[in-house]
């Protein structure tokens, strides 16, 4: 995944997301906060759309996505 914002402008990486599919139960709450980086097809765990890099404009929504996971299946890591 390129390190671009949704409008295609390059943004610095400030953090990374890691998804633990073995813990994910498919609630998909996280993907509602961060559909640019997290997807769920309705039949399994959430997965990353890219390498997990979070552009700075999406960082706060990434924090919300991590916080709302009841299974603690997403981790926010420093870049």
In CATH, what number is assigned to the domain containing residue 39? 3.30.70.20
Tokens of 2: 């390129």
Structural domain includes residue 38: yes
Structural domain includes residue 33: yes
CA distance 24 to 7: 29
Structural domain includes residue 20: yes
Structural domain includes residue 8: no
Mean pLDDT of the chain: 86
Query: How do the residues of the chain divide into helix, strand and coil, expressed in percent and rounded to 5?
Result: 20, 25, 50
Q: Is the pLDDT of residue 2 over 50?
A: no
Domain that holds residue 54: 13-78
Residue 71's CB is within 10 A of a number of other CB atoms, namely 16
**Mean pLDDT, residues 37-64 taken together:** 92
- How many domains, in total, are found in the chain? 1
pLDDT band at 6 (very low <50, low <70, confident <90, very high): low
Q: Is the pLDDT of residue 12 over 60?
A: no
Q: Which helix (H) or strand (E) holds 61?
A: helix 59-67
pLDDT band at 22 (very low <50, low <70, confident <90, very high): very high
CA distance 27 to 25: 6
């Amino acid at each position: 995944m390129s390190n671009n914002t949704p409008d295609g402008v390059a943004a610095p990486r400030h953090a990374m997301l890691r998804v633990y599919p073995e813990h994910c139960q498919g609630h998909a709450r996280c993907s509602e906060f961060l559909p640019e980086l997290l997807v769920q097809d309705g039949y399994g765990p959430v997965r990353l759309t890219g390498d997990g890099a979070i552009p700075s404009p999406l960082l706060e929504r990434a924090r919300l996505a991590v916080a709302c996971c009841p299974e603690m299946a997403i981790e926010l890591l420093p870049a």
